[in-house]
Amino acid sequence: MQTVLFTALAMLAFAGNSLLCRMAFRHSGIDAASFTAIRICSGAVVLWLIIAAKGEKIGTAGSWYSALALFAYAAGFSFAYVSLPAATGALLLFGAVQATMISYGLWKGERLRGWRLVGLILAFGGLFGLLLPGLSSPPLHGSMLMLAAGVAWGIYSLRAKAAIHPTRTTAGNFIRAVPFAFALNIAMLPSVSLDGPGILYAIASGGLTSGVGYAIWYAALRGLKSTNAATVQLSVPVIAAIGGIAFLGEAITLRLLVTSTAILGGIVLVTFDAKHFFKAPVT
């Protein structure tokens, strides 16, 4: 029961990141670079407090390479949501993360056959269809930024898989990412814009849905199989879409419905061994 609760809370937190970021740019005057810096700093502080509350020390946990990937994800995420709807952004991010991790597995020698190969083609076809030019297509610049953010998060996730103490490692990475965030903020100084609501959105995104959210997710992972952990994240774009409709008045287009079904359905086929679902042998 605890695993189910923690998993549900983590998925709400992950979707909440998309909603908070999009709400910040819709309802406040904060700029993307400042949002990124405040989010990373808030996440670092909250994770440090969580580690300290356990009586532990971060020490040398984390790495500069992982911190750079974390920063690239956070920056791309923020700048993409200046123009992307919450649901579309979450779908692009999730698809890019899974595509990166699946591609890494293929590069390492894993092979996809049968329904899993169909799933891979379906997922990439859905991403391609979502980005095709048309009246309902998302802004290309924002889409490219979100795809880049997804690749960065996929790399970060792959590097984090080997972490013995994931929460401590994440805290170390957040702390190391702070200088990158401040460097971006300095580079974007002429366009810096801050206000109270925007700062609060960024703090909530960093401290609550990132810092606390990641800590809850790592607690949930102890009771989840790897396949379950991968596929449960399919709920994130759905939750983000519902939140976008409820809190931002966003519309769900036919293109988004069709392509999201293809992307998420394809990832299900790839992630799970199809023999668990079909009696016929998979070749």
pLDDT value of position 94: 84
| Structure confidence by residue, pLDDT tens digits, 61-104 | 889 999 999 999 999 999 999 999 988 898 889 888 878 877 88
Backbone angles phi, psi at 199, to 5 degrees: -65, -40
Give the 3-state DSSP-derived string for 63-127, with helices as H, strands as E and coil as C: CHHHHHHHHHHHHHHHHHCCCCCHHHHHHHHHHHHHHHHHHHHHHCCCCCCHHHHHHHHHHHHHH
Does residue 280 register a pLDDT over 60? no
Task: Show the tokens assigned to 24.
Answer: 């910040």
* Helices (H) then strands (E): counts for the chain: 12, 0
Does residue 205 register a pLDDT over 90? yes
Residue type, 141: H
283 vs 163, higher pLDDT: 163
Does residue 195 register a pLDDT over 90? yes
Give the angle subtended at the CA of 243 by the CAs of 240 and 247, to the nearest 5°: 140
> Average pLDDT of 263-281?
60
pTM: 0.86
Query: Do 138 and 255 meet the contact criterion of CB atoms below 8 Å apart?
Result: no
43 vs 125, higher pLDDT: 43
pLDDT value of position 275: 46
Residue spans per domain, the chain: 2-276
Q: What is the mean pLDDT of the chain?
A: 86
80 vs 113, higher pLDDT: 80
| Structure confidence by residue, pLDDT tens digits, 256-267 | 888 888 888 887
Among candidate residues 101, 80, 102, the one with its CA nearest the CA of residue 91: 80
pLDDT value of position 71: 97
pLDDT value of position 226: 61
281 vs 77, higher pLDDT: 77
